[in-house]
Amino acid sequence: MGEAKGEYHHLVLAKFKDEITIDQIDELIKGYANLVNLIPSMKTFHWATNISKENVNGGFTHIFDSTFESAEGIEEYVQHPAHIEFAALFATAIDQTLVVAYKPTLVNL
């Protein structure tokens, strides 16, 4: 995550509906990534699939991690028309989602 430009993370966990194809997921990921170009406070976008074998992933298969420079930047993003429009499209493709936002604190003992 050396590429992350912001200290604040907005993390979305998602499970896509069974009928959503890989190509459709790719298109949604591109649409999500493009929000960086539309919303000034959004600094970076990463995505991933879950590889945990611990079987406590709550059914979530995909992770979307956006970074921001402040908590206010996250609020600007959430309320931005481009996010609202994309979120409505994204919502049609998913069975379940979970969102947390946070500023990680490093602990070195």
Q: What are phi and psi of 37, to 5 degrees?
A: -80, -15
CB of 39 to a second copy, least distance (A): 13
Is 80 tagged catalytic?
yes
Q: Rule CB under 8 A: which residues touch a second copy?
A: 1-4, 7, 9-11, 13, 29-30, 32-34, 36-37, 44-54, 56-58, 60, 63, 65, 67, 71, 74-75, 78, 97-109
Which residues, in sequence order, are bridge partners of residue 62?
A: 14, 49
Please identify which of the residues 9, 32, 62, 77 carries the catalytic annotation: 77
Question: At 60, which amino acid appears?
Answer: F
Shortest distance, position 103 Cβ to a second copy, whole Å? 6
Choice among 9, 62, 80, 83 that is catalytic: 80
31-58 in b/e form (b: 16+ CB < 10 A) is ebbebbeebebbbbbebeeeeeeeeeee
Q: Which of 45, 49, 84 is nearest to 63 (CA)?
A: 49
What minimum distance in Å lies between the beta carbon of 88 and a second copy? 14
Give the residue numbers marked as catalytic.
Answer: 77, 80
